[in-house]
């Protein structure tokens, strides 16, 4: 395949493929639920993939299209090229390219592609004169595997928050993960043991929203692959063990103007937040119940979102405590002014979650919503009467309630688009229905002999 019609950037990638002796390219995308999918092609087909795309059967992908509408095309994004920092048992070297999905019947971007949904939200922000930056804090657990290599819920260590070895046995594992991420272009800012036994956090630098969403998908893949090399199972399940802290993915958000100024910063404000930031924050709070369906998309997510385990359930914001849904972190410089949404968990589809956060915040700006006063007291200690006095609502208690809120929220549904909304709601309704008809071990232990 000739490269004469390919861009200089793509030609540079083809050169790197040859220099790194890459054997295979993984062309990656995600389904509506956020599960990574990929098509593997020999590296010598790279030029063809860039020039023509790669065709696949979209009817086999969860939430994409019906069997009679199955032909789809993957278009690799050259900005996402990275050599994977591990080899398989045959010492084969692979590289990754994240792709956009194209509807071959129209030649247009496929509206069911989660990456396209996020790009639409980014374009909406651009129309208002803003670029969007996001920085996630994904948490995960490391569990031992059994003799057959299956995951258990036996934690890898007995460490706690910020513990060191010997309690924190995963320093070497986190180190290998960090080296792997850095090889793929991540700028890792910090890593540490989290509150629960076997729980960890690795923070990487914020970036534009699309790059951040791509990075979250890559992060989960790298963490699981390198943990497996240590005979461990890494899980981003929000609440794998009862009665201990679950795993969240606090997400920092900010808008920048076309001239590179932080639109969220105001030196003269008590909280250093501009009017734009407060309107954006108000939009997040107003749409928080619907956001839960997208940012906390599993029945297990709501086992984390309960009082007493540091997870936010109260729709309020604060500049001094972490019991509120949104926090205003301290900022050393104006460029660092931002808000932190603390409810998302790492089981979410990063593209849909960030798109929904952006659309919620932009709705606040467009409608000039008033931001409530911050709550500086510990909301966990409020009784119901005091929460009513402060006008503090709670997030949905389960996935079924969250989906109800999503369907009632025109802004978030419009941002997702009719195709994604329909398929996402359908899948999550089914998941919740399957959950509520199951009988758990807890119920059997409590009731079987009692009644």
Active site residues: 57, 137, 139, 194, 201, 250, 322, 340, 342
The contacts of residue 322 (CB under 8 Å, 6+ apart) are 310, 312, 342
**260 φ, ψ (degrees, to nearest 5):** 85, 10
**168 φ, ψ (degrees, to nearest 5):** -85, 100
Q: How far does CA 318 lie from the centroid of its chain?
A: 23
Q: How far is CA 262 from CA 36, 253, 355, in A?
A: 33, 11, 20
Q: Long-range contacts for 271-277 (Cβ within 8 Å, ≥24 apart)?
A: 271/319, 271/328, 271/374, 272/331, 272/334, 272/337, 273/328, 273/337, 273/339, 274/337, 276/365, 277/337, 277/339
Asked whether the beta carbons of 99 and 119 are under 8 A apart, the reply is no
- Reference 314, options 372, 239, 269; nearest CA is 372
**Cβ atoms within 10 Å, residue 276:** 20
Rounded Cα gap, residues 217 and 332, in angstroms = 29
175 sits in which H/E element: helix 171-183
**What totals of helices (H) and strands (E) does the chain contain, helices first?**
14, 18
119 sits in which H/E element: helix 114-127
Rounded Cα gap, residues 340 and 352, in angstroms = 17
Rounded Cα gap, residues 391 and 98, in angstroms = 43
Rounded Cα gap, residues 32 and 46, in angstroms = 26
């Amino acid at each position: 395949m000739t490269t004469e019609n390919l861009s200089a950037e793509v030609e540079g990638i083809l050169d790197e493929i040859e220099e790194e002796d890459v054997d295979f390219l993984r062309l990656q995308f995600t389904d509506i639920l956020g599960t990574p999918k990929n098509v593997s092609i020999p590296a010598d087909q790279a030029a063809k993939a860039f020039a023509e795309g790669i065709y696949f059967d979209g009817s086999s992908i969860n939430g994409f299209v019906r069997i009679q509408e199955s032909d789809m095309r993957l278009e690799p994004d050259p900005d996402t090229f990275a050599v994977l920092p591990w080899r398989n048992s045959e010492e084969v070297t692979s590289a990754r390219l994240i792709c956009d999905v194209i509807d071959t019947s129209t030649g247009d971007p496929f509206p069911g592609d989660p990456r396209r949904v996020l790009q639409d939200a980014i374009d909406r922000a651009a129309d208002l004169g803003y670029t969007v930056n996001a920085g996630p804090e994904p948490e995960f657990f490391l569990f031992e595997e059994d003799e057959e290599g299956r995951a258990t819920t036996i934690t890898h260590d007995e460490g706690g928050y910020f513990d060191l070895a010997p309690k924190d046995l995963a320093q070497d594992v986190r180190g290998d993960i960090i080296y792997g991420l850095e090889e793929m272009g991540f700028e890792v800012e910090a890593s540490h043991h989290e509150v629960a036994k076997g729980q960890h956090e690795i923070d990487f630098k914020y970036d534009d929203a699309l790059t951040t969403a791509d990075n979250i998908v890559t992060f989960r893949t790298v963490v699981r692959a390198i943990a497996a090399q240590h005979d461990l199972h890494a899980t981003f399940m929000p609440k794998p063990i009862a009665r201990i802290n679950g795993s969240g993915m606090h997400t920092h958000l900010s808008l920048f103007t076309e001239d590179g100024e932080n639109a969220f910063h105001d030196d003269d404000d008590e909280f250093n937040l501009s009017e734009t930031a407060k309107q954006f924050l108000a939009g997040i709070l107003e749409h928080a119940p619907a956001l839960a369906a997208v940012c906390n998309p599993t029945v297990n997510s709501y086992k984390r979102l309960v009082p007493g385990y540091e997870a936010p359930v109260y729709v309020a914001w604060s500049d001094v405590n972490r019991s509120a849904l949104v926090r205003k972190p301290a900022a050393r410089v104006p460029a660092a002014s931002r808000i932190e949404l603390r409810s998302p968990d790492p089981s979410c589809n990063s593209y849909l979650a960030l798109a929904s956060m952006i659309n919620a915040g932009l709705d606040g700006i467009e409608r000039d919503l008033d931001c409530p006063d911050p709550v500086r007291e510990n909301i966990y200690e409020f009784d119901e009467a005091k929460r009513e006095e402060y006008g503090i609502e709670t997030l949905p208690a389960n996935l079924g309630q969250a989906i109800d809120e999503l369907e009632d929220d025109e802004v978030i549904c419009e941002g997702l688009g009719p195709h994604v909304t329909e398929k996402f709601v359908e899948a999550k309704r089914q998941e919740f229905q399957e959950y509520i008809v199951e009988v758990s071990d807890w119920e059997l232990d409590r009731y079987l002999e009692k009644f």
